Amino acid sequence: MIYIVHGNDISKSRLLIQNQQKKMGLESRLELKISEITPTQLLEKSRSKDLFGNPPFIVLDVSDAGRMDLSPFVEKMKEIPDLATLIILSEKELPKSNIFIKNLQNLKAKLNLNETAPQSNIFNLVDAVFYRQRERAYRELSKLQNDAVSPFEIFSTLLYGLRTIATVKFESPSYKKLSDFVKRKAQAQSKLFSKEQIIDLFEKLRKIDMESKLSEIDEDLLIPMVIETVLNS
């Protein structure tokens, strides 16, 4: 798979790359500069494997490409194995006229611009889950994943959403401290759950939280598991 990561915030770009590598469970990463490698060498490296027999995770820095003819790289990139991961990294925002951007579809690449406004909102996912809207929930989860939002941050926010609903359902004194907007939303969502279901969900999420901390649950499966637990309650 090929990804294009570009934008002026190099720290965010690097974080996105690290999260992707972690998500794939790969230990090694090969850092290359486009000015120091040929298209053929790049293809050869994409066909290699690391010490553990895993396909390569390659970061190709194109920041110093300047006026290089990059068309030979594009042609060779079309031959990169599907199991290999190639990150095309630029420390600056690439214009639409850039050869990699123009060949996005030909390369079957995914684009991530770190300067764009995030497309995700974690509370949109929380709303979808507690309104029992499965399709919307996974749509919002996909956006959060694209923005490299931590599964543990998502889990904490979902737990907050459940606590808010419980506050309404059990008429907790803290209910008065909620804003009118949150109250209205929580009231509507609380009607979709019985008190018994809410108590059961707290217990199930507590168990999921414990298992995730003990690494008994794959990080990528954590949020889908929580979503299904709520929707199937």
User: What is the rounded CA–CA span in Å between residue 87 and residue 109?
Assistant: 9
pLDDT digits (tens, 9 = 90+) for 25-80: 787 889 999 999 999 999 999 999 877 788 999 999 999 898 899 999 999 999 99
User: What is the rounded CA–CA span in Å between residue 181 and residue 124?
Assistant: 14
Residue 157, pLDDT > 70, answer yes
Residue 71 is predicted with a pLDDT of: 94
Domain ranges within the chain, ordered by starting residue: 2-113, 122-231
Q: At a CB cut-off of 8 Å and minimum separation 6, what does 198 contact? A: 162, 165, 166, 169, 170
Residue 50 is predicted with a pLDDT of: 78
Percent of the chain exceeding pLDDT 90 equals: 56
pLDDT digits (tens, 9 = 90+) for 120-143: 678 899 999 999 999 999 999 998
Percent of the chain exceeding pLDDT 70 equals: 97
Instruction: Return the CATH number of the domain spanning residue range 2-113.
Output: 3.40.50.300
Looking at the structure, give the CATH architecture of the domain made up of residues 122-231: Up-down Bundle (1.20)
Hey, how many other C-beta atoms are within 10 angstroms of the C-beta on 83?
12
